[in-house]
Amino acid sequence: MSMAAAHQITAGFMPLFDSAVLVAASELGFAAREGIELTLHRETSWANIRDRIAIGHFHLAHMLGPMPLACSLGLTPIASETIVPFSLSLGGNCVTVSNAVWDGMAAHGAEPDLDPARAGAALGALIRERATAGREPLRFAVVHPHSGHNYELRYWLAACSIDPERDIEIVIVPPPFMADALAAGRIDGYCVGEPWNSAAVAAGTGHIVTVKALLWRNSPEKVVGVRKAWAEENPEALAALLRALHHSARWCQDPANHAELAALMAGSGFLGLPASVQMPILTGRLKLGGGAERAIADFFVPFDKAANFPWKSHALWFYTQMVRWGQLAHTPENLAIAWNCYRPDLYRSALKPLGVALPGANAKVEGALKAATPVGSAGASLLLGPDGFFDGQIFDPDEIEAYIAGQKHADSLAQ
């Protein structure tokens, strides 16, 4: 006889590999063991996730890291207070370009080594050469305006003296269509999560030039966005879910489970792609195109390095990028909303009974850790970082005014 679950939770997700922690929690019994009946709904766009959270169809959802900020800050058509008590993953994205762009970059010194600075310099030289010849600007695609992809692509380009507003064009393309759009010549490059980079390499139509894990080490990607009203009314259900996700994430991280996880995600109800296609994100071993291959440390991190901790400094960095690219005005009110969006307090209180090591701070200085560093409350059993930006910049949330003021904007980049 089965007892009715204590908590019924409905969640939305996009068919992307970094929904794995949520999927495994539902399919492998982690949620059931916490007394949760977790119902997952696959969606076709981030806009649908946003709308269904806003009107209450979903209690929570797999979301792009900046998305709950955008919802809470009123950047979306239906404003809805959305909080983040759990982060689903670090890393996982790449920048891929067409063969023609790669040939052009190679002629300007790019090597198949994923080095962001070298690749950026070569791309900059190619862009200037094309401009001199009067050719159309290159067109890059990202998955959503309020996405880590959009901000990391722009950060990389700007740090390499390429103006993402004027020197190139940035458009939105859904992840599964990226490789086809590249092959058809509708776009010249893109930033997206796996397996949509390896897909272009396998098709012989693209080269991976750099990865999120090198642009900003151990940087935030997807999160669990929760309707704030539901979270406040159902604190026990939420805490139980966070414990289920914790156990699920630990399972997903373990290499012994990777083949089973890849097979699970390959299912027609989830990604609907062969399990073999899911392996590069798990192993961190990527084919770059032209026969080159690289192993990337911390390419995709679902659990280690306190990956699930919702750092307020991550939310605030996204906020600085929204301001930087003109999506949002920097005001004390907006900053307060951003500060209150990620909720490490809820993560901590839910996991406390498990006796696991937890970060003591709510925010950290991003870019300060040059190597993996032990921290935490329970015998320093928690490793953090490294968390450096490729250009050596530091983001100190206490110095956010100076950071925002010091960011190169479209105007200053043009000079």
Partner 1 sequence: MVRSSLAVLVIDENRIRASIIEAGLREAGHERVTVIHDVAGIARRIAEIEPDVIVIDLENPNRDMLENMFQLSRAVKRPIAMFVDRSDQASIEAAVEAGVSAYVVDGLRQERVKPILDMAVSRFNAFSRMARELEEARSELESRKVIDRAKGILMKSRGLSEEAAYTLLRKTAMNQNRKISDIAQSLVTAAGLLGPLEDE
**Type of residue found at 137:** P
Name which of residues 168 to 197 contact partner 1 (CB under 8 A). Answer: 171-174, 176-177
In the complex, least distance from residue 27 CB atom to partner 1, rounded to whole angstroms: 23
Among the listed ranges 165-173, 198-206, 318-326, 399-407, the one in contact with partner 1 (CB under 8 A) is 165-173
Q: 116 to each of 311, 321, 372, 412, how far by Cα in Å? A: 25, 19, 21, 22
Q: Nearer Cβ to partner 1, position 8 or 44?
A: 44
287: enclosing H helix or E strand: strand 285-289
Among the listed ranges 52-60, 204-212, 311-319, 398-406, the one in contact with partner 1 (CB under 8 A) is 52-60
Instruction: Collapse the DSSP code of 386 into the 3-class scheme (helix H, G, I; strand E, B; otherwise coil) and give the result.
Output: coil
Q: Nearer Cβ to partner 1, position 73 or 238?
A: 73
165 is a contact residue toward partner 1 (CB under 8 A): no
List of E strands, 128-204 = 138-142, 168-172, 189-193
Q: Nearer Cβ to partner 1, position 36 or 143?
A: 143
Q: Which residues pair with 207 in a beta bridge?
A: 97
Instruction: Collapse the DSSP code of 117 into the 3-class scheme (helix H, G, I; strand E, B; otherwise coil) and give the result.
Output: helix
The rounded distance, in Å, linking the Cα atoms of 383 and 129 is 45
The rounded distance, in Å, linking the Cα atoms of 293 and 285 is 7
If binding means CB under 8 A, how many residues of this protein chain bind partner 1? Answer: 21
Name which of residues 84 to 103 contact partner 1 (CB under 8 A). Answer: none
In the complex, least distance from residue 44 CB atom to partner 1, rounded to whole angstroms: 5
Q: Nearer Cβ to partner 1, position 14 or 224?
A: 14
Among the listed ranges 19-27, 113-121, 137-145, 155-163, the one in contact with partner 1 (CB under 8 A) is 137-145
Return the residue of 46, 311, 342, 395 that touches partner 1, per CB under 8 A.
46
Q: 320 to each of 25, 165, 204, 331, how far by Cα in Å? A: 33, 17, 37, 11
Q: Nearer Cβ to partner 1, position 173 or 240?
A: 173
Angle between helices 148-159 and 312-324 (to 10 degrees): 60
- Using CB under 8 A, list all residues that contact partner 1: 44-48, 51-52, 55, 57, 77-79, 143-145, 171-174, 176-177
